[in-house]
């Protein structure tokens, strides 16, 4: 406890936590008595593994706790509040915006031990789960009943439902099924002061203010969900998966618009460019052609007759858009193989470079061709390789910038490139996040999208839940209690001067 804390944050240096060592020692003792010795970590060597999530941000907590119940969570929050110590919720640590990085130190509340599926109600098509349940585990548990939980992030083998709720996670099938908020009916939530309440309902369209919708996607700033009621849907009668091969990412981008214009909304419409295709194929042979400029993975599902008709329309649109070849999965094993390539794409990049920076932005799909050209040009100007794998159907981009953090100045240049790419998304009529969240990574960019009145309104909502300003501080909003503020002049200078680190 009390080891030096690193602050490798992307937008300015955030001040270290001011909590005294005696206060922390007392808090550790109280938490240990309440939760048990095995549920509290405080030695420096124990804390190292919890100073990061899946981003390149770093900051070490002072204490890590592992609650096992709603009562445990409430106890942690009450004790932390009593001592004026910040609390940051964390799931599996797969977040991609620094949302679980404890930049002000304090207590990191890790929810992975709360991993029970409490109920599967087949008749009402709902499941009640704890936040530490892995997404894929829920999928597998309900599949035996002919049901599915629709949101399926690419990290579904390791990400938790609680984390999905925090970021309103999407996935390849968001195009038709929607994101997490469309499938969460209600939640038991522990508020920052330790009080427990229930938001939403166990049935759709409950009357009253939609506090459930407000909480989903709040990135751990309004409280901690300890029980989550999710909606389940029947598994489709038929599924058809296609792989369309294109000479360039621009041709593939144009094909996305043509497919939607044909009158069919595929359940998934995913794009992988040449860099990603080669990375995947070098990792495992999933049948992607390495000489392709880009591929589109397209899936249609529904009634058997409908799938046949819509697949024919999609194939016609892809051919009209210049597809060089089309491959249709004829059996479940082949379909799984094609999806394995998409789901493993991010991990495969690890073989190409020591480090990579995964971005998340959104643009109107009709602007995909020009935005992808812009991403390519910016990456070349900054001198980095960039692979693209993304949810093309809803314009949710995921450029992966490859670099070596040991190269002097490389991290700073990568962050500057990321800022320019997100600015490009905004100028195209898009947004700075589609599913990864704002977190720490993009909080300074909120001023690019929202005016002072909008940000003030968001701040007031946050204060209504957390008037002490101790719950996941320095996340989402560009300024906050004890956090450095973002300044428009600094950001303008940042974008005008490649390589400048602000």
Alpha-carbon distance of 342 to 350, in angstroms, equals: 15
Query: Is residue 10 a contact partner of residue 441, using CB atoms and an 8 Å limit?
Result: yes
Note whether residue 396 is domain-resident.
Answer: yes
111-118 long-range contacts, CB within 8 A, separation 24+? 111/67, 111/73, 111/160, 111/162, 111/224, 111/226, 112/66, 112/160, 113/39, 113/66, 113/67, 113/68, 114/67, 114/68, 114/69, 114/162, 114/226, 115/160, 117/141, 118/227
Note whether residue 297 is domain-resident.
Answer: yes
Which residues contact residue 312 at a Cβ distance below 8 angstroms, ignoring those fewer than 6 apart? none
- For residue 470, the SS3 value is coil
Q: How far is CA 435 from CA 114, 329, 360, in A?
A: 24, 28, 7
Q: Among 84, 110, 136, which residue terminates a domain?
A: 110
Residue 76 pLDDT exceeds 50:
yes
Q: Among 282, 314, 348, which residue terminates a domain?
A: 348
What sign for the dihedral angle of Cα 157, 161, 167, 173?
positive
- Structural domain boundaries, residue 143: 117-234
Instruction: Name beta bridge partners: 399.
Output: 388
Choice among 10-19, 124-133, 295-304 with the minimum mean pLDDT: 10-19
The string of pLDDT tens digits covering residues 188-216 is 999 999 999 999 998 888 888 899 999 99
Note whether residue 472 is domain-resident.
Answer: yes
Residue 496 pLDDT exceeds 50:
no
Q: How far is CA 56 from CA 8, 98, 99, in A?
A: 8, 8, 12
R_g of the chain computed on alpha carbons: 23
Note whether residue 13 is domain-resident.
Answer: no
Alpha-carbon distance of 420 to 208, in angstroms, equals: 41
Mean pLDDT across 420-439:
95
What sign for the dihedral angle of Cα 497, 474, 425, 8?
positive
Q: Among 298, 323, 348, which residue terminates a domain?
A: 348
**Total domains in the fold of the chain:** 4
Q: What is the CATH number of the domain that holds 38?
A: 3.30.43.10
- For residue 447, the SS3 value is helix
Residue 1 pLDDT exceeds 90:
no
Same domain, 162 and 201: yes
Q: What is the CATH number of the domain that holds 408?
A: 3.30.70.2740
Q: Which helix (H) or strand (E) holds 24?
A: helix 21-35
The string of pLDDT tens digits covering residues 325-366 is 999 998 889 999 999 989 888 888 888 899 999 999 999 999
Q: What is the CATH number of the domain that holds 300?
A: 3.30.70.2190
What sign for the dihedral angle of Cα 449, 104, 434, 326?
positive
Note whether residue 279 is domain-resident.
Answer: yes
* Structure-model confidence comparison of residues 225 and 176, the more confident one: 225
What sign for the dihedral angle of Cα 304, 305, 311, 314?
negative
pTM of the model: 0.88
Same domain, 383 and 268: no
The string of pLDDT tens digits covering residues 166-178 is 999 988 888 899 9
Q: Directed axis angle between helix 368-382 and helix 249-261, to 10°?
A: 160
Predicted local confidence at residue 19, as pLDDT: 66
Note whether residue 86 is domain-resident.
Answer: yes
- Res. 439 pLDDT band, cuts 50 70 90: very high
Q: What is the CATH number of the domain that holds 217?
A: 3.30.465.10
Same domain, 224 and 296: no
- For residue 388, the SS3 value is strand
Query: Is residue 353 a contact partner of residue 385, using CB atoms and an 8 Å limit?
Result: yes
């Amino acid at each position: 406890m009390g080891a030096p804390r690193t602050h490798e944050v992307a937008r300015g240096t955030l001040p270290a936590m001011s909590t005294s060592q005696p206060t922390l020692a007392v808090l550790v003792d109280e938490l240990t008595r309440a939760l048990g010795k095995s549920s509290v970590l405080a030695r420096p060597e124990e804390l190292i593994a919890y100073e990061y999530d899946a981003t390149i941000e770093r900051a070490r907590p002072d204490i890590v706790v592992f609650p096992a119940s709603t009562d445990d969570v409430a106890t942690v929050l009450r004790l932390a509040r009593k001592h004026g110590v910040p609390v940051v919720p964390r799931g599996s640590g797969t977040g991609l915006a620094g949302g679980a990085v404890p930049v002000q130190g304090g207590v990191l509340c890790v929810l992975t031990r709360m991993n029970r599926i409490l109920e599967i109600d087949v008749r009402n098509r709902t499941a009640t789960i704890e936040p530490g349940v892995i997404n894929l585990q829920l999928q597998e548990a309900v599949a035996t009943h002919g049901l599915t939980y629709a949101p399926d992030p690419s990290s579904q083998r390791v990400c938790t439902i609680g984390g999905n709720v925090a970021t309103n996670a999407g996935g390849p099938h968001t195009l038709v099924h929607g994101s997490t908020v469309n499938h969460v009916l209600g939640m038991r939530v522990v508020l920052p002061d330790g009080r427990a309440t229930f938001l939403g309902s166990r049935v759709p369209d409950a009357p009253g203010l939609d506090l459930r919708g407000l909480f989903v996607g709040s990135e751990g700033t309004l409280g901690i969900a300890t029980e989550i009621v999710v909606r389940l849907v029947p598994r489709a009668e038929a599924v058809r998966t296609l792989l369309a091969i294109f000479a360039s990412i621009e041709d593939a981008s144009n094909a996305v618009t043509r497919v939607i214009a044909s009158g069919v909304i595929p359940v998934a419409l995913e794009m992988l460019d040449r860099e990603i295709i080669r990375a995947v194929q070098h990792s495992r042979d999933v049948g992607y052609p390495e000489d392709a400029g880009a591929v589109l993975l397209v899936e249609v599902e529904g009634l058997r007759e409908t799938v046949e008709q819509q697949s024919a329309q999609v194939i016609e649109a892809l051919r009209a858009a210049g597809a060089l070849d089309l491959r249709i999965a004829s059996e479940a094993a082949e379909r799984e193989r094609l999806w394995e390539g998409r789901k493993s794409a991010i991990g495969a990049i690890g073989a190409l470079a020591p480090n990579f920076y995964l971005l998340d932005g959104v643009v109107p799909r009709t602007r995909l061709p020009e935005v992808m050209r812009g991403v390519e040009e910016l990456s070349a100007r900054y001198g980095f390789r960039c692979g693209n794998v993304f949810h093309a159907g809803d314009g949710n981009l995921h450029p992966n910038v490859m670099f070596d953090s040991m190269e002097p100045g490389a991290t700073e240049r990568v962050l500057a490139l990321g800022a320019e790419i997100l600015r490009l998304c905004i100028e195209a009529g898009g947004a700075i996040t589609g599913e990864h969240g704002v977190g720490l990574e993009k909080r300074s960019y909120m001023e690019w999208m929202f005016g002072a009145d909008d940000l003030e309104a968001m701040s007031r909502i946050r204060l209504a839940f957390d008037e002490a300003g101790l719950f996941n501080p320095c996340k989402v909003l560009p300024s906050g209690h004890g956090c450095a503020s973002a300044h428009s002049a600094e950001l303008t200078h940042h974008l005008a001067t490649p390589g400048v680190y602000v």
